[in-house]
Amino acid sequence: MRGLDLAGPEGQNPPLLAVQSETNHVINNLQVNELTTKNAKQSASSAADMTGLKLRKTIIEQSRRAGVGHIGSALSIADIVSCIYGKVLNARAPRDPDRDRFVLSKGHAALALYAAFYERGWITEEQLNTFCGDGSQLGVHPEHCLPGVDFATGSLGQGLSFGTGAALAAKRQKSDRRVFVLLSDAECNEGSVWEAIMFAAQHKLNNLFAILDLNGQQAFGYTKDVLNLSPMDERWKAFGWDVHVVDGHDEKAMAEIIQKNSNVGDKPHVLIAKTTFGKGVSYMESQIKWHYSPLNEAEYELAMTELERQS
């Protein structure tokens, strides 16, 4: 069985997403453990119900509540994060040693991650509402103290190395667990990214998935005007990776590529995920301003109205 399969009884239990990869990596107790997470989300939703749209609503709500930026970057990856946490990540509990690992190498978009943790029942609404508050575990960038954050990030160019080490560890431990590293395109300005790219290819880490959020923007301009990285797919290919160019807003397509290629072949895999910066909120899309800018009330109302319309 390859790809996605919705299973489990309806009613008392929300639908259980059984994820089965080529390597028979099946999680049986995902749902049980998630529901036993103390004060976890009590609604009928679960990982299977996660959508990028749900994450976007949380991103907009929390950005407004906390008065912080990085909104466009988080919206850009909402579907990717939803795909990972809703459809592919095998993790019975946030600290289960044999869980799949996820590294948000573009740490500044952590709000998308928190939204996914909330949907998955790993954090409560009360915790979510501490985002960027004093003493919160939920900062602008993800901290390791928050269960579910496998590696703290925020300094661009480090996540792929962490993830590569994690993938190597899985191989040496003869585990089928996988490692997903979500990078920004501009992050590839960092030379260390290419060190990790070379190492992963050399060691044939086919359990490693890099997902490149190709939105063409960075803090101060468009990537083509700062350091032109095009053609991104050819570059990764030349470095020995198995390259898949995909619509970064198509959760199903991304999930299928991942499930089909987990621990398959003799190369690490990269999804060059074409995305729109600020996706889902018309006035943010492809606008540099929304890398840092927070929302005012009118902008918030407009954004929520637009997202509601997409429901």
Partner 1 sequence: MRGAFAKTLTELAAKDERIYLLTGDLGYMALEPFAEKFPERFINVGVAEQNMVGIATGLAEAGFIPVVYSIVTFASLRPYEFIRNGPILHQLPVRIAGVGGGVEYGHNGATHYGMEDVGVMRVQPGITVVAPADAGQTKTALEKTYDIPGPVYYRLGKDDRIVVPGLDGRFDLGKVQTIKEGKDIVIFAMGGISYETAKAAELLSKEGIEAKVVVVASINPPPVEDLKQILSQYRQAITVEAHYASGGLASLVSEVVAQAGINCKVSRCAIEESPDGETGNQPYLYNKFGLSAESVAAKAKTLLCGVPA
**Minimum CB separation from partner 1 for residue 141, in Å?**
10
Closer CB to partner 1, 62 or 153, in the complex: 153
Closer CB to partner 1, 9 or 191, in the complex: 191
Closer CB to partner 1, 90 or 153, in the complex: 153
What secondary structure, in 3-state letters, does the chain show? Answer: CCCEEEECCCCCCCCEEEECCCCCCCCCCHHHHHHHCCCCCCCCCCHHHCCHHHHHHHHHHHHHHHCCCCHHHHHHHHHHHHHHHHHHCCCCCCCCCCCCEEEECCHHHHHHHHHHHHHHCCCCHHHHCCCCCCCCCECCCECCCCCCCCCCCCCCCCHHHHHHHHHHHHHHCCCCCCEEEEEECHHHHCHHHHHHHHHHHHCCCCCEEEEEEECCEECCEEHHHHCCCCCHHHHHHHCCCEEEEEECCCHHHHHHHHHHHCCCCCCCEEEEEECCCCCCCCCCCCCHHHHCCCCCHHHHHHHHHHHHHCC
**Minimum CB separation from partner 1 for residue 238, in Å?**
17
Q: Which positions touch partner 1 (CB under 8 A)?
A: 97, 101, 144, 150-155, 157-158, 160-170, 172-173, 179, 191-192, 195-196, 198-199, 202
Closer CB to partner 1, 177 or 274, in the complex: 177
AA letter at 201: A
**Minimum CB separation from partner 1 for residue 304, in Å?**
35
**Minimum CB separation from partner 1 for residue 168, in Å?**
6
**Minimum CB separation from partner 1 for residue 36, in Å?**
24
Closer CB to partner 1, 48 or 156, in the complex: 156
**Minimum CB separation from partner 1 for residue 270, in Å?**
16
**Minimum CB separation from partner 1 for residue 163, in Å?**
6
Rounded (10°) CA dihedral 118, 123, 127, 132: -70
Closer CB to partner 1, 189 or 286, in the complex: 189
Closer CB to partner 1, 195 or 250, in the complex: 195
